Chain A
Amino acid sequence: MSSLSKKFEELSSVYPTGTSSSLVLPLLHFVQEEKGYVTQEDAAAISDCTGVPAIQVTEALTWYTMFRRAPAGRHVVKICRNISCSLRGAERLIDHLRKQLGVEVGETSADGRFTLLTVECLASCGTAPAMQVDETYHENLDEAAVDRILGSLR
């Protein structure tokens, strides 16, 4: 049994009967956690096990911003650019990150270590400016803190 169908069985026992189309997002998350991104073939496999039309899985894959269809760097740096973070220096930190990583927003560093993304509000407005590196939130940032965080990641 593939890891996807195993995951499908596991989730099916958690979700109420008759809600298998609800498993599309959890399975997309699962694939992305497993290999870092989701391909069209993965979407087709999710369609096969859930019975949800392939087009609907593809729509979900392409519509939600958290799903990637191509590999990213080993670490994904997502820095908030919304209002409360902007009022506390997000623009300065985005410039700093671009310089430190030598990339523009949306790009991956040459050594494959980091992908730099800007994101909208992370609900860290009271601890702005904030960024999320992989899963972890980092808050009340300044340039020195950003350098420390980047330096701690291989």
Chain B
Amino acid sequence: MSVERVFFRFDPTGDSHSLDAYRGRGGYQALTKALTSMQPNDVAQEVTVSGLRGRGGANFPVGSKWSFVDRKRGVVYLCCNADEGEPGTFKDRWILEHSPHQLIEGMLLAAYALGARHAFVYIRGEFDLPLRRLRAALGEARASGLVGERILGTPFSCDIVVHRGAGAYVCGEESSLINSLEGRKGYPRNKPPFPAIKGLYQAPTVVNNVETLANVPWIVAHGGAAYAAIGSKSNPGSRLFGVSGHVARPGLYEHPTGYPMKAIIFDDAGGVLGGRPLKAVIPGGSSTPVLTAVEVENVTLDAGSLQQAGSMLGSGGVIVIAEGTCMVRLLHVLTRFYAHESCGQCTPCREGTSWMNDILERIVAGKGRPEDLDNLRGIPQGIMGNTVCALGDAAAMPVMSFMRKFGDEFEYFVEHGRSRCDGRLEA
């Protein structure tokens, strides 16, 4: 297995985000190569061959997404999704803060492949340092002829506009992001038509995550085949995994897909805080179904492996939970979040997320009723698959998996009016 790294090829210092530092790491060589010796289709072809999949959580093949765009329709938009907000995920922020030119180069390559004259970065409204770093990097890139008219003296022109969100988890969903970028509230759109056919201002639009686009320079520089050789066969590549929660060394670790889950928790992140036993892991951001310590045993950080275990790789945010943690109160933290972030468009999600949260609020207050447990099993079933976007499923999956795997703790809480684990959330 190759251990080639796409991101952690340098130690972040005070200026590793600068153009000079990025050039020192070989930055913008892929762009020069593409603009001087490759046709747009060649770039798209390398990305297809690489097997790169979307890193925002949906894991969709990037080459396919790009291939749906009808480039003959004139205006095509590229949007970078930098609305990172999936709890447990903090990788895009790192890229924006420490290697923003890598994203810019990836966007320029994507725009070249897609024929996009204009590109946007939709960045979380809360992000401060990432925004300042990205704007500064764009300023440097413009001044050096890397962004704007006739890039590197070639006929290719592309402008990149940075657009701030304003606090809405759902805007990470691509059609919600597009509505938000059009100055509307961020209601997701019905699909089809998919954004590649009708997106921003009705034009063909590709929305790709920050980490996804930041992989593209490496792919163009080394070839799609070299990227496809990294990690697992069906979902190749190198990924930024964020480990958080009850571990000794939380943080971001880059590994090829297929890296063992236990290795990232116990080797990279130093094991469970205070040497306590492992209770559970949420493997790919808060929306992915929780796994018990036993289920985690042989799982790898690969979409296929996690699917077999009944969960998902999602956005690569591994949330570690130590023995002794109250799963009832922890699920309440999540239901509160989804009830807060449901956009209000679809009834099953708008009502269902609030119902689930009301029930958990009652249970953790010691006033749970016996029928609450049945409702906590039934409501998510009514949400799953019945909404315009994936937020409904994202809210339902944690509840279903917590109830299935830790149902006895919920029964105990309702019966005794208190937590079996002293209500602990901290390790």
Contacts and interface: CB of A to CB of B under 8 A. Distances in A.
Contact of B243 (A19, A23, A120, A126): A126
A123 B124 contact: yes
A123 B169 CA distance: 11
B86 interface: yes
Nearest to B344: A63
Interface residues of A, number: 49
Contact of B168 (A22, A50, A64): A64
Interface in B306-361: 317, 319, 321, 325, 330, 333-334, 336-337, 340-341
A50 B183 contact: yes
A125 B85 CA distance: 10
Nearest to B332: A86
Contacts of A82: 87, 286, 333, 337
Nearest to A46: B183
A67 interface: yes
B245 A25 contact: no
Contact of A60 (B87, B89, B184): B184
Contacts, number: 159
Contact of B93 (A14, A28, A78, A123): A123
Nearest to B127: A123
Q: Count chain A CB atoms within 10 A of each CB in B92, B126, B127 and give the residue with the most.
A: B126
A18 B201 contact: yes
Interface string B160-185: 01011111110000000000111111
B50 to A, nearest CB: 26
Interface stretch (B100-108, B223-231, B246-254): B246-254
A124 B127 CA distance: 11
B427 interface: yes
Interface in A1-52: 14-16, 18-19, 21-26, 28-29, 50, 52
A124 B302 CA distance: 24
Nearest to A136: B128
A58 B97 CA distance: 33
Q: Count chain B CB atoms within 10 A of each CB in A29, A66, A121 and give the residue with the most.
A: A121
A21 B183 contact: yes
A128 B244 contact: yes
Nearest to B322: A87
B183 A132 contact: no
Nearest to B269: A126
Contact of B330 (A19, A67, A83, A122): A83
Contact of A122 (B126, B181, B250, B319): B126
A120 B341 contact: yes
Given A23-B183, A121-B86, A127 B330 contact: no
A81 to B, nearest CB: 7
Interface of A: 14-16, 18-19, 21-26, 28-29, 50, 52, 56-57, 59-60, 63-67, 78, 81-84, 86-89, 91-92, 119-128, 132, 135-137
Sort A-B residue pairs by CB-CB distance and give the 9 closest, nearest first. A24-B183, A64-B166, A66-B167, A125-B244, A65-B167, A63-B185, A84-B244, A21-B183, A121-B87
15 contacts: A25-B166, A28-B166, A29-B125, A29-B166, A52-B183, A56-B183, A83-B245, A83-B319, A83-B333, A87-B244, A119-B126, A120-B87, A121-B86, A125-B90, A125-B250
Interface of B: 84-90, 92-93, 117-118, 124-129, 159, 161, 163-169, 180-186, 201, 242-246, 250-252, 282, 286, 317, 319, 321, 325, 330, 333-334, 336-337, 340-341, 425-427
